[in-house]
Amino acid sequence: MANIKSAIKRVKTSEAARAHNIAQKSAVRTNVKKVEAAIALNDATAANESIVAAVKGLDKAATKGLISKNAAARKKSRLMKKVNKLNA
What is the structure's pLDDT at 88? 83
Q: Please, where are the H alpha helices in the chain?
A: 5-40, 44-64, 69-87
What is the structure's pLDDT at 2? 84
Domain ranges within the chain, ordered by starting residue: 42-88
Kind plus residue range of the DSSP H or E element containing 41: none
What is the structure's pLDDT at 5? 95
pLDDT at 45 over 80: yes
Close Cβ partners of 27 (under 8 Å, ≥ 6 residues apart): 57
- Per-residue pLDDT tens digits for 55-84: 999 999 999 999 999 999 999 999 999 999
